[in-house]
């Protein structure tokens, strides 16, 4: 029996479809239920940012989460397989026409991904003030809250429609199948079995 943490939304739906394909069954959460029990798996529906927490604490054996979220959280879990969904970039954005100059003093950077941001600027020995926001990050440069943002870019539409451009890409992300380190040992056969089955579908 494996417990699987899935992030609410499209990724959960896609992942359950893969499980359905593998086992020739339909896996679906009832209405507002957050737990789905089947003979071989218990599925948990959690917030995207909470998937790795469930897996890290072994409340779930495996899970599905974006590598950007995992990098930001820095939780020690096993990255089993790139599911090649939810592909996006974490990029630096600025108002169109403004110069990307890391030598400018007193730079302010707004982001919801403060750890990725901190690491990026530390590696370049640039001291910046990081302003933590929880959403609508693209607004910050427009009203002078920050000089630049570090944010997720998928289609690029949000930046474009708000007069921002990408000046640098920090990382590429996609969703990964992850596993708890102890579960990977204690339930190795089960974990590897589902890994192989999913791998066959993702990388036919
Ligand atoms: C993300 C991100 C951008 C947007 C980028 O936010 O913060 O605002 O998506 O997508 P695009 O390049 O396709 O326009 P999301 O909608 O995930 O909401 P969140 O701020 O609640 O994470």
pLDDT tens, position by position, 67-90: 999 999 999 999 999 999 999 999
Q: Which atom of ligand 1 is nearest to the CA of 158?
A: 14
Distance 204 CA to ligand 1 centre (A): 30
pLDDT at residue 177 in the model: 98
pLDDT at residue 24 in the model: 92
| Same domain? 95 vs 140 | yes
Tell me what the mean pLDDT of segment 159-171 comes to. 98
Is 161's C-beta closer than 6 angstroms to any atom of ligand 1? Answer: no
| Same domain? 102 vs 27 | no
| Same domain? 162 vs 179 | no
| Same domain? 124 vs 142 | yes
Distance 110 CA to ligand 1 centre (A): 14
Write out pLDDT tens, residues 119-156: 999 999 999 999 999 999 999 999 999 999 999 999 99
Show the CA angle centred on residue 171, arms to residues 184 and 5, nearest 5°: 35
What gap in Å lies between CA 17 and CA 40, rounded to an integer? 16
What gap in Å lies between CA 114 and CA 110, rounded to an integer? 8
Tokens for 145? 């809250």
pTM summary value: 0.93
What gap in Å lies between CA 99 and CA 195, rounded to an integer? 46
| Same domain? 81 vs 128 | no
CATH of the domain at 126: 3.40.190.10
Percent of the chain with pLDDT over 70: 100
Q: How many domains does the chain have?
A: 2
Tokens for 113? 């991904």
| Same domain? 18 vs 92 | no
Is 46's C-beta closer than 6 angstroms to any atom of ligand 1? Answer: no
Residue 180 belongs to domain spanning: 2-86+174-202
């Amino acid at each position: 029996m494996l417990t699987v943490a899935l992030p609410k939304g499209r990724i959960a739906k896609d992942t359950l479809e893969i499980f359905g394909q593998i086992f020739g069954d339909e896996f679906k959460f009832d209405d507002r239920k957050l737990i789905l029990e089947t003979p071989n798996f218990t599925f948990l529906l959690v917030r995207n940012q909470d998937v790795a927490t469930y897996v890290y604490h072994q409340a779930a054996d495996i899970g599905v989460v974006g590598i950007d979220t995992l990098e930001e959280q820095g939780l020690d879990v096993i990255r089993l397989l790139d599911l090649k969904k939810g592909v996006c970039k974490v990029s630096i954005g600025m108002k169109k026409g403004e110069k990307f100059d890391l030598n400018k003093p007193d730079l302010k950077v707004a982001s919801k991904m403060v750890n990725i941001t901190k690491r990026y600027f530390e590696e370049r020995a640039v001291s910046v003030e990081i302003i933590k926001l929880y959403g609508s990050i693209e607004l910050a440069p427009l009203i002078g809250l920050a000089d630049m943002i570090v944010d997720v870019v998928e289609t690029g539409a949000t930046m474009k429609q708000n007069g921002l451009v990408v000046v640098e890409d920090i990382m590429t992300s996609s969703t990964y199948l992850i596993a708890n380190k102890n579960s990977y040992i204690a339930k190795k056969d089960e974990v590897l079995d589902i890994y192989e089955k999913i791998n066959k579908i993702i990388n036919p």
